[in-house]
Structure 1
């Protein structure tokens, strides 16, 4: 599958969205149990049929607004049609899942090589349990010890949050280095798509960050505020060392980015990424969770003749004004100034808005107070159901990886 007219480029949070990458939740969520929820970064077990219905509604809203929707699984299938790429992907997939027993690795590799590309793409996301291929592979000690629920290839139920494992910045791509081992296979998938799919390969898209870098950096912490300014959250999932590495790569490359606002957020699961507390909805307007205002610290990394300089900023609002060269900044508090309502709706991703055009955003319908406030401020709000989608701790922005914005 080729997309000859699609040249990836994102230099705005609010420009008209033209193409996006999604993943439709699937069998990987059926692998969640009360015993592995914490390991796989979930707080509850979603109802799979319902979560698929909600995600399909999300995709329909995007398509109805003229946005090309691409799916991770389809893109991966495209690149696995090449036998050499398919073989190396299988080797890397087994390695990242800790398959080190030579005999087991050999059996699994042969088994997977005989499968069709779509089956391999499915397994890479939904996993491969012992029971799926019982009596085909000789049992090692691990299979006996963990007999009931032993995964040769672990599921990646967070894959529907496509924002995190990769992100377009200007005309280049960032392959995240994930904090949690449970999410590292997602970046392996993204890396194979980036390195081998025509969308990236034929357009000579540079790489600003790589998943082999030691320090963690995740896409939910990266906001593209303009062609020259990005904001990066520093908290539970993204380290200061990673942000400096990204800055160096952007400034030394051919990126137009000249200024990075580093927003230090509390290390807390409620605020796992910057976009769980702060997003841009219009040229001068941002939604913000007021409950963490006193805990924020803001720094600037600014490109200069020596590489870059770092300075501490007074506060987020003044830093945004200066960096974006705006006279006025409007901060819209999600949930209003009622602390209880604001905290409840932030937990349900009220701040995780996806702008599809200036002043036009997609949000969850359950965040009634925040949506009402945004509408009062003149923001066009498109609501989608998210009762099950939100159980994974992410909203419309988390569930989308923009490839092209005008």
Structure 2
């Protein structure tokens, strides 16, 4: 394949997305789940059915879905299908405009899937599009920590899985891709704050849904000219984005980790607190498509974590 990536927001019409199926392993009990840093035991057959529903929902909406494992060489597939976290593809790379930046795993358990996926991407994208640096990429960056707000700004958490050094290393590439501002926030280091998209998410192009505690956190704004601090609502107001804070999050993954299929359509877990979408956000003019991904969410990530957009119109 040769792919021309194009992605300038979280809400444009999704045209092409990368996924892959969950691991062939069962997680038989709570102790094993805890040991591998998952939330609950997982039945692989149920997980496969969940994943198939998610893929079908996107295809029904007109999205081209690419399973990257289908393109792996035979000698790589045996390992890949046993990697527990392989279906959390969002972290592997991110499309900034027409530029693709590869991720660097923030935990050793995830390194093999990054290596395998990046080898594929080197073939999918032109060399000047996929900015692969190999072993010289030393500082971790997982793209569940990144929201592309609009054509001007990106929002990045420098926390458990993404370092401030990684953002400093890549900021020039982000500016060169066409963005003028990088907002950096430092979330508390906890399991439920592992990535930015477990704490906030764009709803269309003008609303950021955020956990209520985020109102108290400053954001460092980085531009070509320099740096400054401001509060999150002031940063977003510069880009005509309203912050809606919610204290109704019952399930961090299901309630926050949804996916914009287009400016008017959200793909949401059936486990999500519907009060957030029906009353707090009052999304009467938007379509909310609900799918059951409960078994997949037990791995600690949701619909957004399981999808890597390559093209949004």
Common fold by TM > 0.5 = yes
Task: Name the SS of the counterpart of 1:318 in structure 2.
Answer: helix
2:125 — aligned with what? 200
Task: Name the SS of the counterpart of 2:7 in structure 1.
Answer: coil
Mapped partners of 1:374, 1:9: distance in 2 = 32
Task: Name the SS of the counterpart of 1:186 in structure 2.
Answer: helix
Taking a change above 3 Å as real, the CA distance of residues 61 and 213 of structure 1, as seen in their structure-2 partners, is: same
Task: Name the SS of the counterpart of 1:266 in structure 2.
Answer: coil
Contact 2:185 2:220 in 1 (8 A): yes
- Select 2:88's aligned residue among 126, 137, 161: 161
Larger radius of gyration: 1
2:98 — aligned with what? 171
Name the structure with the higher helix share. 1
1:85 — aligned with what? none
Taking a change above 3 Å as real, the CA distance of residues 176 and 38 of structure 1, as seen in their structure-2 partners, is: farther
Higher relative contact order (CA 8 A, sep 6+): 2
Contact 1:177 1:210 in 2 (8 A): no
Q: Matched residue pairs, number?
A: 311
**How far is the alpha carbon of 1:272 from its aligned partner?**
0.5
Mapped partners of 1:300, 1:32: distance in 2 = 45
Is residue 2:285 matched to residue 1:289? no
- Select 1:318's aligned residue among 214, 234, 241: 234
Residues 100-135 of structure 1: CA distance to partner in whole angstroms, max 9, x if unpaired?
Answer: xxxxxxxxxxxxxxxxx2xx2321213xxxxxxxxx
Moved more, 377-386 or 348-357: 377-386
Mapped partners of 1:210, 1:273: distance in 2 = 23
2:194 — aligned with what? 272
**How far is the alpha carbon of 1:211 from its aligned partner?**
6.4
Q: TM-score, normalised by structure 1?
A: 0.72
Taking a change above 3 Å as real, the CA distance of residues 211 and 235 of structure 1, as seen in their structure-2 partners, is: farther
Mapped partners of 1:204, 1:122: distance in 2 = 28
Is residue 2:301 matched to residue 1:384? no
Mapped partners of 2:163, 2:174: distance in 1 = 17
The list of structure 1 runs, each at least 4 consecutive aligned residues, that deviate by more than 4 angstroms after superposition, is 31-36, 208-212
2:140 — aligned with what? 216
Mapped partners of 1:161, 1:191: distance in 2 = 14
Q: TM-score, normalised by structure 2?
A: 0.92
2:172 — aligned with what? 248
Taking a change above 3 Å as real, the CA distance of residues 14 and 210 of structure 1, as seen in their structure-2 partners, is: farther
Mapped partners of 2:191, 2:98: distance in 1 = 31
Is residue 2:219 matched to residue 1:298? yes
- Select 2:243's aligned residue among 318, 331, 340: 331
- Select 2:5's aligned residue among 5, 8, 20: 8
Task: Identify unmatched segments of 5+ residues in structure 1.
Answer: 81-116, 127-154
2:55 — aligned with what? 59
Residues 245-294 of structure 1: CA distance to partner in whole angstroms, max 9, x if unpaired?
Answer: 1113333xx41011101122111110100011111111211211114433
**How far is the alpha carbon of 1:385 from its aligned partner?**
0.6
CA RMSD of aligned residues (A): 2.1
